[in-house]
A and B are shown apart, each in its own frame.
Chain A
Amino acid sequence: MKTKKIKRWLKVCHYWLGAIVGIQLLIWLGTGIYFNITPSENLKGSHYYRSIAPLDLTSFSSHDLEPLSSILERFKPMEQVSTIVLNNRPVYLLDEQVQRYQHNCQQQVLVDAYSGKEVLIDADLAESIALQSYTGSGEIKSHRQLSTRFKEWPKECNPLWQVSINDDLNTRIYINGVNGRLVGHKNDHTDLADLMFKLHFMDYSHQGSFNNPFSWVFGLMMLLLSLSGVYWVIENLVMKRYRFKLKK
């Protein structure tokens, strides 16, 4: 009698879990199939992307470098200084506190390694960095400075330059406004891919992460749904319900 009750209860659970999770489960599977069949280039927006070339050593003159000791004296104590290349010019990147991820809020200063002058990422510099990363045939349509809450980069903490290109994919190139780093490319392909990621991760509050309460609740309900389903499959096997009778 008791086992009968448990059996009935498991089936009711399966029904109602299915009623709640069903549509999201179809979304998970559908977006999963999309990730499976979509080239990674489309997911990352790297259609017209190339990484920025290192410093051209033939035109580099180490004799003209400003000594680091005199530069360090002018600023707050720094944790690290590294040489980077911006627009084919050597630049010192001063890090007050080194961050683990590029999207973290950077506490950095850029100093031109030849002149010792502080470098700010203005529109011209952002555009030329953007073009160096671009292999398509389009031209710059517009640029915009964005400060916070970026639709296309939910985790990014730094101000960004958006450089828009008039090409067949509507490429948008993003440059970090603090250190001139290339954040990445976005285009028509990533519009779709980002939507698919959002649906798969249930990132409906736009955090750029799958560690969110929707995922916790639906993930666990999906697990219970599938386990109660496995029980049902086993019951069907035990009760010999898997006989294929054509005539009835």
Chain B
Amino acid sequence: MTLNPKRTFKKISSAQFVHRWLMLIFAIPLVIWGFTGSYFVLMDMGFIRSDHIVVEQTDKVSASSVSYPIMQVYQDFPEAKKVTLKSLLQQTVYQINLPGESVLISAQSGMQLDAISEQQAKTIAHTLQHQGAISPSASIATANLLTSKAPSELASRYLPVWQLVFDDMAKSTLYISAQTGSVVTKRHEYWRWFDLFWKWHIMDYDDGETIDNALLFYSAIGSFIAVFSGVILLWQRRKRYS
């Protein structure tokens, strides 16, 4: 077996050789990018983020429902970072954001409200059930109060929360703050797939947070060369396919 270096170089630097051999490896990431990318662009981002899951009508706060003055609120809670006046379950309340926690007080009496109960959380969840949002025929399969550990689909700063899982096809899940009664996060199966496919797309298989990982870098560089050789082949084979 004699080696002809000139011929060997010519062969391994030909577009056909590069395309065939590199695609043996890089066809896999390219299929993953094609599949996950298609999912991202075809699924409406607003739908993925549950923008359609909103209350039909929110109650307004009337001047007459605010008898406890806000200056008193600030004196009761001098650490308050932010005070919000809002309507919650037919009652006007002040929501006070303190360092590390939030409390609700009645805007009538200034009395601190109890934490949101399971029943109250369910009542709030049902306001998001109507045509175009979570199906009215769905019911709540499970209701859990999460206090110490958040699932991966929820930021832990929202704890403690009520996790309400519906039995609809998309397994719609609402997270309602036990301190404020606000719907803090909305998830469904299409979001969960999106999240999984995102990890595949950026090839970060642990937390899906870092786009600057080495696996992605080398896969993209290798794929770029493989695709580039394919583009050269397009020109070289133009007679065969036209």
The tally of CB-CB contacts under 8 A between chains A and B is 177
Q: Contact at B34–A68, with CB atoms within 8 Å? A: no
Q: Contacts of B221 on A, CB cut-off 8 Å?
A: 33
CA distance A210 to B198 in the complex (A): 14
Given A33-B224, A72-B62, A73-B63, are A216 and B230 neighbors across the interface (CB < 8 Å)?
Answer: no
Judge if B31 is at the interface, Cβ distance under 8 Å.
Answer: yes
Judge if B45 is at the interface, Cβ distance under 8 Å.
Answer: yes
B52 to chain A, nearest CB (A): 11
Interface size of A by Cβ–Cβ distance < 8 Å?
Answer: 68
Given A36-B211, A219-B41, are A242 and B63 neighbors across the interface (CB < 8 Å)?
Answer: no
Q: Contact at A100–B31, with CB atoms within 8 Å? A: no
Q: Contacts of A227 on B, CB cut-off 8 Å?
A: 31, 34
Partner of B71, one of A30, A63, A209: A63
Q: Contacts of B224 on A, CB cut-off 8 Å?
A: 26, 29-30, 33
Judge if B82 is at the interface, Cβ distance under 8 Å.
Answer: yes
CA distance A65 to B70 in the complex (A): 7
CA distance A227 to B34 in the complex (A): 9
A112 to chain B, nearest CB (A): 14
Q: Contacts of B87 on A, CB cut-off 8 Å?
A: 79-80
Q: Contact at B63–A72, with CB atoms within 8 Å? A: yes
Partner of B70, one of A68, A77, A97, A248: A68
Q: Contact at B212–A62, with CB atoms within 8 Å? A: no
Q: Contacts of A82 on B, CB cut-off 8 Å?
A: 82-85
B100 to chain A, nearest CB (A): 14
Q: Contact at A229–B1, with CB atoms within 8 Å? A: no
Q: Contact at A69–B67, with CB atoms within 8 Å? A: yes
Q: Contacts of A241 on B, CB cut-off 8 Å?
A: 20
Q: Contact at B31–A230, with CB atoms within 8 Å? A: yes
Q: Contact at B227–A78, with CB atoms within 8 Å? A: no
Q: Contact at B24–A67, with CB atoms within 8 Å? A: no
Quick one: CB contact mask for A158-185 with B, threshold 8 Å, 1 for yes? Answer: 0000000000000000000000000000
Q: Contact at A211–B41, with CB atoms within 8 Å? A: yes
Judge if A57 is at the interface, Cβ distance under 8 Å.
Answer: yes
B3-11, B141-149, B154-162, B164-172: which one contacts chain A?
Answer: B3-11
B residues in contact (CB < 8 Å) with A: 1-4, 7-8, 11, 20-21, 23-24, 27, 30-31, 33-35, 37-38, 40-45, 51, 54, 58-64, 66-67, 69-71, 74-75, 78-79, 81-87, 211-213, 216-217, 220-221, 223-224, 227-228, 230-231, 234, 237, 241
Add 7 more A-B contacts to A62-B78, A65-B70 (CB < 8 A): A18-B231, A35-B211, A36-B216, A54-B81, A70-B63, A211-B41, A233-B23
Can you list 14 pairs linking A and B with CB atoms under 8 Å apart?
A15-B234, A22-B231, A29-B224, A29-B227, A36-B220, A68-B69, A73-B63, A216-B41, A219-B34, A219-B41, A222-B33, A223-B38, A242-B24, A248-B7
The 5 A-B residue pairs with the shortest CB-CB distance in the complex, in nearest-first order: A62-B74, A215-B41, A77-B60, A223-B34, A72-B63
